[in-house]
Amino acid sequence: MSAKITSDQATILNKMTADGQKIGLGDNLKELGDYSPVLLVANVNVASNSTAFPVTIPFAMKITLVTVQCRAASGSGTATLRKVTTAITDAMVCAVDKTVNHCGTLDDAQTTLAAGDNVNVITNGANDRGIVCIYGYRL
């Protein structure tokens, strides 16, 4: 994933063509990169309660919400997003197949991530499966 465009790059894009200048192409692209929400998706299909499922963050971002869509029935199943071993979210229920749950809490001190940071999903049980969606915006 490429980095956001800078103000200087936006100015260059604005001036590249007459049409680009009319519509402010560079300014519009910069605004889109600066303010669009982002979504990262992790398919937690082999996690266990002792092995964390890794997710590499492709760009600097701030997490605003995390959800999990359960993909298997697993009594007392949960999924927690963490930075190393520190929880970013609470344990989200992941026990009933096809249900979607969102985090109830986000640790503010852990939600700002740098490009290349590694976060992980840890589950309560070896049979917990789900699609974990990390929502946020680029920094």
Inter-CA distances, 26 with 3, 67, 79, Å: 14, 33, 40
CB neighbours of residue 131 within 10 Å: 17
pLDDT digits (tens, 9 = 90+) for 24-38: 888 888 888 777 899
Nearest to 98 by CA among 132, 124, 69: 69
Q: pLDDT tier at 3 (50, 70, 90 boundaries)? A: low
Highest mean pLDDT among 9-23, 99-113, 125-139: 99-113
Task: Count Cβ atoms below 10 Å from residue 59 Cβ, excluding itself.
Answer: 18
Please state, as a whole number, how many other Cβ atoms lie within 10 Å of the Cβ of residue 78.
20
Rounded CA-CA distance 104/107 in Å is 10
What is the predicted pLDDT for the residue at 1? 45
For residue 98, give the CATH number of its domain: 2.60.120
pLDDT at 109 over 80: yes
> How far is the first Cα of the chain from the last one, in angstroms, to the nearest whole number?
14
Whole-number percent of the chain with pLDDT over 70: 95
Residues 54 and 106 in one domain: yes
85 lies in the same domain as 47: yes
Shared domain check, 30 and 47: no
Residue 61: which region, alpha, beta or left (left: phi > 0; alpha: psi -120 to 50)?
beta
What domain range includes position 93?
Answer: 37-138
Is 107 found in the same domain as 78?
yes
Number of H helices, E strands in the chain: 3, 10
Query: Do 66 and 133 lie in a common domain?
Result: yes
- Round to whole Å and give the CA distance between 137 and 125: 31
**pLDDT tens digits for 74-85?**
888 999 999 999
49 and 25 both lie in a single domain: no
Let me know: does 94 contact 43? Beta carbons within 8 Å.
no
Look at residue 131 in the predicted model and tell me its pLDDT.
Answer: 94
